[in-house]
């Protein structure tokens, strides 16, 4: 019998320690969260991506009375981004979420399905996406989404 010991490196920053580029991307995510359509959960999530060509695009969660038809902020943002800029890699993605009138104290971390979609975006261009997960008390930073998705299933897995 063997064990696989999997470690994940997340860097924990205070907001003030971040670079201007990072702070600006978080600001874009925070602003976008205010435009979310979240009448059911009242959990308003914003995402912002910085592309290799300097473009910043944002998105937010879009809910639906038929619940599974809604979509998280991360996927709204990434699918929309790749639809507009199919050849441009994403360099960085910031997330922020608010509920009951305040941004979350703990960093917002993406759901499993969104981790899978962010991973595909990384794999598609062969470039890691730096993920900034904002909370009032701390900002978690991962250098690649692979950190959040150990033993992932990717395109290469289809080769057997």
Which residues are annotated as catalytic? 74
**61 is a contact residue toward ligand THU (CB under 6 A):** yes
Q: Is the dihedral of CA 142, 143, 147, 153 positive or negative?
A: positive
| Stretch near ligand THU under the rule CB under 6 A, chosen from 9-17, 80-88, 105-113, 143-151 | 105-113
Please provide the distance, in angstroms rounded to a whole number, between the alpha carbons at the two ends of the chain.
Answer: 23
**131 is a contact residue toward ligand THU (CB under 6 A):** no
Return the SS3 of 148.
Answer: helix
Tell me how far the alpha carbon of residue 85 is from its chain's centroid.
18
**63 is a contact residue toward ligand THU (CB under 6 A):** yes
**117 is a contact residue toward ligand THU (CB under 6 A):** no
| Stretch near ligand THU under the rule CB under 6 A, chosen from 2-10, 50-58, 66-74, 117-125 | 66-74
Strand-pairing partners, residue 12, are 140
CB of 46 to ligand THU, least distance (A): 9
CB of 76 to ligand THU, least distance (A): 8
| Stretch near ligand THU under the rule CB under 6 A, chosen from 14-22, 79-87, 104-112, 152-160 | 104-112
- Alpha-carbon gap, residue 49 to 74, rounded angstroms: 9
**38 is a contact residue toward ligand THU (CB under 6 A):** yes
């Amino acid at each position: 019998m063997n064990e696989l010991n999997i470690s994940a490196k997340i860097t924990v920053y205070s907001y003030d320690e971040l670079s201007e580029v990072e702070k600006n991307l978080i600001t874009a995510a925070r602003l976008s969260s205010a435009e979310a359509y979240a009448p059911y959960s009242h959990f308003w999530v914003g995402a912002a991506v910085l592309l290799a060509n300097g473009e910043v695009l944002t998105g937010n969660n879009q809910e639906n009375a038929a619940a599974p038809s809604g979509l998280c902020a991360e996927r709204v943002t990434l699918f929309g981004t790749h639809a507009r800029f199919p050849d441009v890699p994403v360099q960085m993605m910031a997330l922020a979420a608010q509920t009951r009138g305040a941004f979350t104290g703990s960093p917002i971390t993406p759901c499993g399905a969104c981790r899978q979609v962010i991973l595909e975006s990384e794999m598609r261009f062969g470039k890691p996406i730096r993920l900034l997960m904002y909370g009032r008390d701390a900002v978690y930073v991962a250098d690649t989404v692979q950190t959040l998705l150990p033993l992932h299933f990717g395109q290469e897995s289809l080769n057997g």
